[in-house]
A and B are shown apart, each in its own frame.
Chain A
């Protein structure tokens, strides 16, 4: 089944690039800008029938609206995008912080991120997916 990604508060350029990468993989994305007061991400993910969530980190930490999704053994695949000072970096959290992986600014492309999210959402390994890796 194709990935259905819930993208929250992504900077516009990253949002557009992720959207194009999703389209290339025939995956789907739902892009949401939360109000300043936050929102119920779990309910949003449920309503959007999302398999994975991506959101910018706030000063290298998970934003408050992600708290319900962080720290669950069998939680939804959750990706944090570190946009601090434009130095994009993707960290991944799936199943308590034991499987946390951080990818430096020069480490991951948008396509690789989407493929990684696709695998993680499908119950596969949350390890980074590189070009040429099999499904």
Chain B
């Protein structure tokens, strides 16, 4: 018989109460918040509403069964936080349009897929809280209360995905900066280098001496921080694709 991961009802409830205590502290705590839950799934709707309404930190929970009715509702009765359940929404564009239209309401996206792509996409669309499909009620509550304070309450998994994205953006910016630091002649050399031409072939193509081309290649390697020609080509392919200079005539360094 397996006894792996057995949890009794009372343990789950106790954990939720402990998590909620700081927000419920009387007097000094933040004012109770109103929540609008947008979901098509009744199984979740009533359960979440009942569970949230039991908490002192929540003063009101309304439910809308579509993004359209949620927007109408928000116009009439503003809510501090909107929980958008993505599970029942087929068209992601509809949900994304809702997030933009619902501004300045603070959106918590619920049931986001556990992929970096989806997590980052919802952050970019303006969700203040991201709760994945494997999240617990405590995770949802944490995200709602944090969003009400203007903060992002997310799991370490979500935070890691967002930090990875920030690191990638920073690396891309560094690459673009390096590429745009090349002179016009160096970029001409790079274009041919990427095509696999030898120094002699590049010299012939640009009507330059081979030693001049070697100097340009040497400078390029230094500027893109590559130790070999192959490494430089690999880096430059990515840099060229990201560089605004590559896409247009503006050669101004970033």
Q: Interface majority SS on B: helix, strand, loop or mixed?
A: helix
Whether B1 and A40, one on each chain, are in contact in the complex, defined by CB atoms closer than 8 angstroms, is yes
B41 to chain A, nearest CB (A): 5
- With a cutoff of 8 Å between Cβ atoms, the chain B residues found around residue A102 in the complex are none
Whether A16 and B2, one on each chain, are in contact in the complex, defined by CB atoms closer than 8 angstroms, is no
Which of B2, B42, B140 touches A44 (beta carbons < 8 Å)?
A: B2
Whether B1 and A44, one on each chain, are in contact in the complex, defined by CB atoms closer than 8 angstroms, is yes
Give the complex CA separation of A110 and B43 in angstroms: 5
- With a cutoff of 8 Å between Cβ atoms, the chain B residues found around residue A33 in the complex are 4-5
Whether A86 and B42, one on each chain, are in contact in the complex, defined by CB atoms closer than 8 angstroms, is no
Q: Kindly specify which of B45-53, B146-154, B167-175, B189-197 makes contact with the partner chain.
A: B45-53
Per the CB 8 Å criterion, the residue count for chain A at the interface is: 41
Per the CB 8 Å criterion, the residue count for chain B at the interface is: 37
**Contacts A19-B12, A21-B47, A106-B41 hold; do A34 and B2 have CB atoms under 8 A apart?**
yes
Whether A16 and B138, one on each chain, are in contact in the complex, defined by CB atoms closer than 8 angstroms, is yes
> Closest chain B residue to A16 by CB distance?
B137
* A29 at interface, CB cutoff 8 A: yes
**Contacts A20-B13, A105-B40 hold; do A30 and B8 have CB atoms under 8 A apart?**
yes
Whether A11 and B133, one on each chain, are in contact in the complex, defined by CB atoms closer than 8 angstroms, is yes
Which of B2, B6, B50 touches A40 (beta carbons < 8 Å)?
A: B2
Which of A11, A18, A43 touches B1 (beta carbons < 8 Å)?
A: A43
> What string of 1s and 0s marks CB contacts (under 8 Å) between B29-44 and chain A?
0000000000011111
* A109 at interface, CB cutoff 8 A: yes
- With a cutoff of 8 Å between Cβ atoms, the chain A residues found around residue B6 in the complex are 30-32
* B134 at interface, CB cutoff 8 A: yes
A selection of 28 A-B contacts at a CB cut-off of 8 Å is A11-B134, A12-B136, A13-B44, A13-B136, A14-B43, A16-B16, A17-B44, A17-B137, A20-B13, A20-B51, A22-B9, A29-B8, A30-B6, A31-B7, A31-B8, A32-B3, A32-B4, A32-B5, A33-B4, A33-B5, A35-B2, A39-B4, A87-B88, A88-B44, A107-B42, A108-B43, A109-B43, A111-B50
**With A12-B135, A86-B87, A105-B43 already in contact, 6 other A-B pairs whose C-beta atoms are closer than 8 Å:** A16-B51, A20-B50, A34-B5, A39-B1, A85-B87, A88-B41
